[in-house]
Amino acid sequence: MSHCSGYSDPSSFAEDGPEVLDEEGTQEDLEYKLKGFIDLTLDKSAKTRQAALEGIKNALASKMLYEFILERRMTLTDSIERCLKKGKSDEQRAAAALASVLCIQLGPGIESEEVLKTLGPILKKIICDGTASIQARQTCATCFGVCCFIATDDITELYSTLECLENVFTKSYLKEKDTNVICSTPNTVLHISSLLAWTLLLTICPISEVKKKLEMHFHKLPSLLSSDDVNMRIAAGESLALMFELARGMESDFFYEDMESLTQMLRALATDGNKHRAKVDKRKQRSVFRDILRAVEERDFPTETVKFGPERMYIDCWVKKHTYDTFKEVLGSGMQYHLQSNEFLRNVFELGPPVMLDAATLKTMKISRFERHLYNSAAFKARTKARSKCRDKRADVGEFF
């Protein structure tokens, strides 16, 4: 009975998180709990089904369970298909998010191809369904892009997915009769996700197809920089930087006709001081567009370093950055674990085979929750003390004058 109560509430996994699994649970306990979640995806209650889907997704995002899911991939795919077809907004989102992580676990191969073959038409239908929830369509667009990136071995399927996503985000393009500003709508979040998923797939297209897409979108995509939604402006800017990188990779002397007007727009966004925009939005936008402007004007990219365990990865181009950002959005805090252990992701980022560490090394690398709490408290006290000293100095200066 105590075991049953352990998985009767699927949300308990999400609350415990991966740390509890590492410290307190065994592989057998985890698999037993996951079997319970899989059974609960058939429950009559929509909330229970949703929580079960989220529980499985959180487990797969935080731990490699390839053998376990390989045996149950058909059951999992059937459950996801059923929840996508019959569920409402939140359940569809949970099902699509699980589908993404399922493909990440399986990696490229016949198994993930079968998942995409089953779920692809349903995802496409939801994305194109104007009556469906915007949030569900948004998650399905990301899922469709990620699953296609991993699983598709059919070039026509890749082109079909690109076209489906294009048909969505191009609705945000500035029309000739429009003013100079694109006003955001409830559909804007869907258009952003579709654009980002499309950009991800563009990175795996043959050169001939990349050239076609660049010709189609290079002169229209900059119109999205005038959107009143900061996330749309950033998504459009980063997609443009990536497109320039691809174009110059194919032709080192690539020439863009409207370079002057584009750099003016990018410079304006990199130094934006509009009072009607939120301070946080302006700060975020200026930081991103400084990098985008450098990429377009100087072909430069500010290298970023990502540390995970004893390893580190250098993100030194826009293609790598966009791929990393996409998978980080799907895996969340599990991204570092997957960079260490997931062979598919390690191949994508050219990290080589997983580094084998013995238990003693892993134990020395790990910081307990209590130690982390002490470290954070000490850091907070140090920051507070530094601020107080700074305030005291300012007060002294004020008194002197």
Confidence band of 293 (pLDDT split at 50, 70, 90):
very high
Mean pLDDT of 347-367: 71
C-alpha dihedral (49, 53, 56, 61), degrees to nearest 10: -160
**Is the Cβ–Cβ distance between 92 and 83 less than 8 Å?**
yes
pLDDT at 397: 44
Global pTM value: 0.83
Q: How far is CA 55 from CA 35, 58, 89, 203, 229, in A?
A: 11, 5, 17, 32, 33
Confidence band of 381 (pLDDT split at 50, 70, 90):
low
Q: Is 220 strand, coil or helix?
A: coil
Q: Is 311 strand, coil or helix?
A: strand
Confidence band of 401 (pLDDT split at 50, 70, 90):
very low
